[in-house]
Amino acid sequence: MIKTATQDRLPGQQFFCFGVVGTIGFLADAGLLLALQSYTELGPYLGRVISFTVAATVTWALNRHFTFTSGLDTAWLRQWLRYLSVTLLGAGTNYAIYAALLQFGEATITRSLLAVAAGSLGGLAVNFTALKCFVFLPGRRPSAAR
């Protein structure tokens, strides 16, 4: 069945797709963090802010097209800005877990990657609910940029 912009997936399908997209986002986040820690002087905290922002943009684009298909009815720039704003709640949960786990030992690359994984899992439920309720709403119509 081909989805149109006005149709949406069933909740179970959405959560599965959200998990797949989240895994891709995790790989983008962790991969970029690894590269930034290995090849720059940014460190694990500023590096994570950068890697998270890139990963959030990747997950927004994928969620828009595959998870919450009704989101295609919304102007992309406005939706991206709303997505980044709403995910700050999940990001706060994510980053708090990440930073707390780094406090228990030296900030090695392995410890940083494990902390990224734990933080990502911590923000999953928060983000899924918030995005479904506040960003990817059926029936929204574009008003400006697409």
- Amino acid 50: pLDDT: 93
Instruction: Give the C-alpha separation, 109 to 30, whole Å.
Output: 10
User: Per residue in 70-128, pLDDT tens?
Assistant: 766 678 888 888 898 888 888 888 889 889 998 887 778 888 888 988 998 888 878 89
- Amino acid 138: pLDDT: 66
- Amino acid 6: pLDDT: 39
User: Per residue in 34-79, pLDDT tens?
Assistant: 999 888 888 888 998 899 889 989 999 999 888 987 766 678 888 8
8 Å CB contact between 51 and 30: yes
Model confidence at 32, pLDDT cuts 50, 70, 90, reads very high
* Domain ranges across the chain: 11-134
What does the pLDDT average to over 17-27? 92
Model confidence at 139, pLDDT cuts 50, 70, 90, reads low
Integer angstrom CA distances of residue 121 from 69, 124, 141: 23, 5, 32
In Å, how far from its chain's centre is CA 108?
A: 24
Q: Which residue has the tokens 């989101």?
A: 71
Q: Which tokens is 127 given?
A: 């983000």
Instruction: Give the C-alpha separation, 74 to 78, whole Å.
Output: 8
In Å, how far from its chain's centre is CA 56?
A: 4
What are the φ/ψ torsions at residue 16 (nearest 5 degrees)?
A: -60, -50
Instruction: Give the C-alpha separation, 84 to 136, whole Å.
Output: 12
Task: For the full predicted model, state whether its pTM sits above 0.75.
Answer: no
Residue 146 has pLDDT above 50, yes or no: no
Side-chain half-sphere CA neighbours of 19 within 13 A: 6
Residue 21 has pLDDT above 90, yes or no: yes
Residue 31 has pLDDT above 90, yes or no: yes
Model confidence at 18, pLDDT cuts 50, 70, 90, reads very high
